[in-house]
Amino acid sequence: MRPEKHGQIPPAGNGLPAHLDPGSTPEQPDFTLTVEENSMLDGAQGPAVAMAMRVLTALSRTLNAPRLVEITSAHIDSCLYHGQVSLDFAERLVHLGATVRVPTTLNVGSVDLLHPSLVKTDTPKEQEVVSRGRELMAAYKSMGCTPTWTCAPYQLPGRPRFGEHIAWAESNAIVFANSVLGARTDRYGDFLDICAAITGRAPYSGLQATAARRGEHVFDCSSLPAAFMKSDVAYALLGYHIGKVSGTKNPVLTGVPVDVSEDQLKAMGAAAASSGGVAMFHVVGVTPEAPTLGAALQGNAPLQSHVVTAATMTLARQELSTFHSGELNAVSVGTPHASFAECAELARLLAEGGPIHPDIDFFISTGRATLDRLAEAELLEPMERAGVRLVVDTCTYVTAVLSPKAKRVMTNSGKWAHYAPSNIGVDVVVGSIEECVDSARLGRVALQNNFLGLGDAS
């Protein structure tokens, strides 16, 4: 039986549902609130603001944050349905009249609202995810969040500028904002993200502070072949490696070409946040807080130094891939969501050769804003005609989009490769976008052998 709705859940003493009450934390004398923040906490700005402020202050004390910091934007990951508690929390906020007070974008949900038939509803669990997922997405929209439904909010207009304090959730968005944009956000997960959006505040801790942003592990990439460094797969593999080695430390990369693209940095950050807990990296001569190695390290010596070789990348590809040759069932690209440039490159590759093999399902995940741009550029219809299915509002490694028969899947994403085997029970092989297209045409894995042994031709 489904738990009762928000208005019927017996509240705890502080107004939270009993099963969501974060509890109280003893007052710490070094944690202070402004007059306005105290008014929020006391309920002067409404019960929803008070509830959100209680969550923020409790966490701030746990983190030993001295204060809260005002934020200019938020990105919400809590709109992805993970169970009834996800919906209970959001509906409680709606019931209390919650409204976000800073520009707030929404991460992927559990349903492609534009193409609902893509999401499977064959089992009771899938039906629950679709039904409750829709309710959850609607709840966040009703709080004034912008229905962007993308894990790549940095691809949208009005992205945060250097030095701005923000509260972004979703691991790849966090690492991109900190590293490539130079904005400041710590790791904000479910429920904290929306509380920050409602109050316009976040704990001043972690990567909000300058000291926590210094580089710690140095990776020398200067020996990697130039041809390899031009490929999208290079940065998926590099990200996987630096994340695995660094854990939650901040990696610093030297020897990366200065013309590296944002899409390549996106792929690297997403993989590093998946294999490790990287929330910020520096690329010397490229990212805004790393004009020099010394600046990236903030004048400190590195904790560790590493040399990245072609053999290192070969091993990373082998570790990320659970198979390496033979039959293929599906291809999935766009994790994080594919940019317009990536979609345009895919369209070009598709136009230059034969059709996709009839036994291959080819998916590309992207955001609604990119979908609109593709339609305006007259690229959408040729991609669909070539056999590509465009997925928006969600991602194929978290939602039942792939056929249950699809057990061997190719991707160009280190993040997708890391999570999909456990999330949706598939085997995965990692390749560049060109290798993905070549393999989709053949119906079997086709890896190029042009990166000093990176990949065995099949």
The verdict on 199 and 275 lying in the same domain is: no
The verdict on 312 and 331 lying in the same domain is: no
Helices (H) and strands (E) in the chain, counts: 16, 14
Query: Is 447 part of any domain?
Result: no
Phi first, then psi: what are they for 365, rounded to 5°? Answer: -95, 135
pLDDT band at 9 (very low <50, low <70, confident <90, very high): very low
Phi first, then psi: what are they for 27, rounded to 5°? Answer: -60, 135
Query: Is 448 part of any domain?
Result: no
pTM, two decimals, is 0.91
Q: How far is the C-alpha of 59 from the C-alpha of 42, rounded, in Å? A: 17
Report CA dihedral (351, 353, 355, 356) to the nearest 10 degrees.
-100
The verdict on 82 and 139 lying in the same domain is: yes
The verdict on 158 and 197 lying in the same domain is: yes
Residue among 37, 51, 41, 43 nearest 204 (CA)? 37
Listed residues 162, 191, 209: the one ending a domain: 209
The verdict on 157 and 226 lying in the same domain is: no
Listed residues 299, 318, 337: the one ending a domain: 318
Q: How far is the C-alpha of 441 from the C-alpha of 260, rounded, in Å? A: 29
The verdict on 416 and 401 lying in the same domain is: yes
Residue among 415, 447, 227, 223 nearest 332 (CA)? 415
Listed residues 318, 347, 369: the one ending a domain: 318
The verdict on 252 and 297 lying in the same domain is: yes
* Residue pointed to by tokens 């219809």: 381
The verdict on 302 and 377 lying in the same domain is: no
pLDDT value of residue 353: 85
Phi first, then psi: what are they for 258, rounded to 5°? Answer: -70, -15
Domain count, the chain: 3
The verdict on 227 and 192 lying in the same domain is: no
The verdict on 274 and 391 lying in the same domain is: no
- pLDDT tens for residues 342-399? 999 999 999 988 899 999 999 999 999 999 999 999 999 999 999 999 999 999 999 9
Q: How far is the C-alpha of 374 from the C-alpha of 117, rounded, in Å? A: 21
Q: How far is the C-alpha of 195 from the C-alpha of 188, rounded, in Å? A: 10
The H or E element that residue 451 is part of is: none
- pLDDT tens for residues 200-255? 999 999 999 999 999 999 999 999 999 999 999 999 999 999 999 999 999 999 99
pLDDT at 302 over 50: yes
> Domain of 232?
214-318
Q: Which residues are CB-neighbours of 146 under 8 A, at least 6 positions away?
A: 103, 104, 105, 106
CATH number for position 365:
3.30.499.10
The verdict on 327 and 219 lying in the same domain is: no
Query: Is 70 part of any domain?
Result: yes
Query: Is 458 part of any domain?
Result: no
